[in-house]
């Protein structure tokens, strides 16, 4: 099992959160959060991904989704191996709860990782970019409530392209993926134009219809 | 490992090709093509999927792609288990090469399957439908050469919706996924308007860009 954890840096955009291998092979090398599945005590591989993030990153209740399973003779110098890989998304503010010592790297400047973790991280990034175009996935990088410009910025970070303001707002409203939050940001601080806050209408990932 | 194999029936559209469980649990029940990964002799899980299709369905060189990995205490009555699931696509004509005794069911009338294979088959169908909207995936249900109306029909079968003729043709031409085949179908038989044949420009699956 390996979990690629991503966050959104306030300035530098999409970033990967890494641990450090504490033993050979690859001792001292940055790595995804990995460990063995425990059949019996883990309810499923998804439960195991949550357990690994809790144990190795100190983070509970993080969004996780299965990426794919990697296998073969070359991914671990100790021999033929299989790893069910997951990706996970955490809002930047929640990294304050994480275990100390984690490294956060903008995805464009990732260091070389242990095992085949570069390949897993690249596959996870491709999946994020693809799925951003037809789902609420990027919103799981934001706090529970956010402004529309913040939502647009996280879609832009994950898609890697600039989006048109009004087309984005129209699409989001058509999709009915958001609901208004009663409080506005800045409303109590006497700001002249407090910003409307939104949250996802559903707790779970929502995928949109796609057309040919 | 479990492989969900699909084909396209000339009249009834998208169909699943099933084997039969030859021992308990679920002896006699229709099932996906399953078996154990052989670390060491299988180069990867994908190689194992090809091996299982060759051994259990008698089919070599079939399009396969990883679906996802299923795990947990409830999927096999013998206890906690993991299965890396794949889907595979085979043109109907090639079923003549397959092992005798396979059952072909239109996907809307699938019988109850062994283990959690109903769930795996449903996930594979959802993936096929999703991926059809941004890739050449459905074309792997056709013979190597095909007419544009045949290509449109297979997209319609996988997407489950009717498509507009000229919009489909325009999109396919814009995407540059096809190349003309020198021979026309019916050209030698003295048919008045022989049909232009096409083939995929690339041997591999091609995914298109998606936009928000």
**Residues A27-40 pLDDT 10s:** 999 999 999 999 98
From A19, A12, A29, select the one nearest A56 (Cα to Cα): A19
Mean pLDDT of B123-145: 96
Measure the CA–CA gap between A155 and A157, rounded to whole angstroms: 5
A2-132, which class in CATH? alpha beta
Q: What is the pLDDT of residue A40?
A: 86
Q: Higher model confidence: residue B151 or residue B210?
A: B151
Please enumerate in sequence order all residues whose Cβ is within 8 A of that of B131, keeping only pairs 6 or more positions apart, or say none: B137, B207
CA dihedral sign of residues B78, B80, B84, B90: positive
Q: What is the pLDDT of residue B212?
A: 42
Which residues of chain B have a CB within 8 Å of the CB of A155? Answer: 212
Please check whether residue A6 is in contact with residue A88, taking contact to mean a CB–CB distance below 8 angstroms. Answer: yes
Report the SS3 class of residue B9.
strand
Q: CA-nearest residue of chain A to B132?
A: A212
Q: What is the pLDDT of residue A212?
A: 42
Query: Angle, to 10 degrees, between the axis of helix A148-159 and the axis of helix A165-175?
Result: 100
Q: How many Å lie between the alpha carbon of B97 and the closest alpha carbon of chain A?
A: 29
Q: Which member of B40, B73, B130 has the closest CB to residue A80?
A: B40
Domain boundaries, chain A: 2-132, 137-200
Q: What is the pLDDT of residue A189?
A: 61
With a cut of 50, list the residues of chain A below it in pLDDT: 212
Please check whether residue B199 is in contact with residue B172, taking contact to mean a CB–CB distance below 8 angstroms. Answer: no
**Assign residue A26 a region: left if phi > 0, alpha if psi is -120 to 50, beta otherwise?**
left
ipTM above 0.90, yes or no: no
Question: Is the predicted pLDDT of residue B190 greater than 70, yes or no?
Answer: no
Q: Which member of A69, A80, A130 has the closest CB to residue B84?
A: A69
Give residue A109's Cα distance to chain centre: 17
Q: What is the 3-state secondary structure (H, E, C) of B96-108?
A: HHCCCCCEEEEHH
Q: What is the pLDDT of residue B187?
A: 63
Residue A150 phi, psi dihedral angles, 5° rounding: -65, -40
Mean pLDDT of B54-83: 97
Looking up tokens 């003309």, which residue turns up?
Answer: B180
- How does pLDDT run across B145-178, given as a tens digit for each residue? 999 999 999 999 999 999 999 999 999 999 999 9
Chain B residues with at least one Cβ partner in A under 8 Å:
37, 39-40, 43-46, 66, 68-69, 71-73, 80-82, 84, 130, 132-134, 155, 159, 163, 168, 171, 207, 210-212
Measure the CA–CA gap between B27 and B77, rounded to whole angstroms: 13
Give buried/exposed letters for A27-65 (b at 16+ CB in 10 A, else e).
eebbbbbbeebebeebebbbbbbbbbbeebbebeebbbb
Q: What is the pLDDT of residue A88?
A: 98
Question: Is the predicted pLDDT of residue B139 greater than 60, yes or no?
Answer: yes
From A47, A61, A59, A57, select the one nearest A1 (Cα to Cα): A47
Question: Is the predicted pLDDT of residue B124 greater than 90, yes or no?
Answer: yes
Q: What is the pLDDT of residue A27?
A: 97
CATH code that applies to domain B139-200: 1.10.10.10
Q: What is the pLDDT of residue B184?
A: 81
- The third-level CATH classification (topology) of the domain covering A137-200 is Arc Repressor Mutant, subunit A (1.10.10)
Residue A186 phi, psi dihedral angles, 5° rounding: 90, -5
Measure the CA–CA gap between A198 and A146, rounded to whole angstroms: 5
The radius of gyration of chain A from alpha carbons, rounded to an integer in Å, stands at 18
pLDDT bin (cut points 50, 70, 90) of residue B186 is confident
Measure the CA–CA gap between A123 and B161, rounded to whole angstroms: 30
Cβ-based neighbour number of residue B41 at 10 Å: 10
Please check whether residue B140 is in contact with residue B87, taking contact to mean a CB–CB distance below 8 angstroms. Answer: no
Tokens of A34: 């990995």
Cβ distance of B68 and A73 shorter than 8 Å: no
Residue A29 phi, psi dihedral angles, 5° rounding: -85, 140
């Amino acid at each position: 099992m390996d979990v690629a954890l991503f966050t959104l840096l306030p300035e530098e955009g999409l970033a990967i959160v890494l641990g450090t291998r504490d033993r050979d092979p690859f001792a001292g090398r940055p790595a995804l959060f990995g460990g063995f599945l425990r059949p019996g005590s883990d309810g499923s591989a998804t439960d195991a991904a949550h357990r690994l993030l809790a144990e190795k990153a100190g983070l509970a209740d993080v969004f996780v989704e299965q990426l794919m399973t990697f296998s073969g003779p070359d991914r671990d110098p100790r021999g033929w191996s299989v790893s069910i890989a997951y990706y996970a998304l955490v809002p930047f503010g929640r990294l304050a709860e994480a275990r100390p010592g984690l490294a956060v790297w903008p995805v464009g400047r990732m260091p070389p990782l242990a095992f085949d973790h570069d390949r897993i991280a690249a596959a996870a990034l491709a999946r994020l970019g693809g799925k951003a175009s037809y789902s609420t996935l990027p919103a799981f990088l934001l706090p529970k409530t956010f402004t529309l410009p913040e939502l647009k910025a996280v879609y832009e970070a994950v898609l890697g392209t600039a989006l048109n303001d009004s087309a984005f707002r129209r699409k989001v409203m058509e999709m009915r993926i958001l609901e208004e939050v009663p409080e506005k940001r800045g409303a109590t601080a006497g700001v002249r134009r407090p910003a409307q806050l939104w949250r996802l209408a559903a707790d779970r990932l929502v995928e949109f219809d796609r057309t040919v």
